[in-house]
Structure 1
């Protein structure tokens, strides 16, 4: 990849990870007397994102100067997936988990690898329905349901 792009991405993801950890401190510590509260998952994700971005930044300093791997930076794919992630966050509540997750995964799969529509649709639908069922029905959690018109 590009050394400059990787450095900017590493810094951006480091800041996002820090924001996750800082903002998750505002979430209540536990629910119903449980030791594991709703703040644990965002703190864990933020910590993982921080560690991975630090690794990325570390790797950019180890790049060989003057050598090209023949890889080009694919800004178009990055922008498409980034924009679809923003739309996912915006539309999650109004459209529900299953629809927005299915659409996001389908866009991401098709952005990364054109064609294979049947495979993309099958994986996206199984994942979105499977996670919804497992979390909402089996574990008794709550996710945004289907839209009500």
Structure 2
């Protein structure tokens, strides 16, 4: 028996993930100047979405019957703040570069979700943004927006 919004959402996300994987196979396998093809990230994101939706479905089925999604009210303020930050992140990514943009975005999101623990948020944001940049650009020889020209 289906239980609430999470169950239905997990099915929708599962189907979206399958569509991402399926459609990413139609993208050419390599691009000029990069050993990592443009099909890698959509396929990876689709696979992650499929796995997370399976986990969400399992958790929704495992939840006690008394747990209802309707008892808690959504936090629209935080959602809108993070959605706005994501839009700004996407808009300014080319101008400020991946490392700085991702660092600022993650730091803002961590502090929006849970105030405090600023040092932990700074360390995780910096480590993740630089780590992914280094992995993708140096090891996989892909391309991401680098540092802005005024910092070089």
TM-score by length of 2: 0.68
The change in CA–CA distance for 1:59 and 1:136 in structure 2 (over 3 A counts) is: closer
- 1:49-60 pair list within 5 angstroms: 49-60=49-60
Q: 1:87 to 1:9 in 2, by over 3 A?
A: farther
> 1:1-149 to 2 correspondence within 5 Å?
4-7=4-7, 9-30=9-30, 37-67=37-67, 72=72, 74-76=74-76, 77-148=78-149
CA RMSD of aligned residues (A): 3.4
Distance between the aligned counterparts of 2:116 and 2:140, measured in 1? 35
Q: How many residues align?
A: 144
Is the Cα–Cα contact under 8 Å of residues 7 and 61 in structure 2 kept in the other structure?
A: no
Q: TM (normalized to structure 1)?
A: 0.69
Structure 2 residues not aligned, in runs of 5+? none
Three-state SS of the structure 2 residue aligned to 1:29 is coil
Shift of residue 135, structure 1, vs aligned partner: 2.9
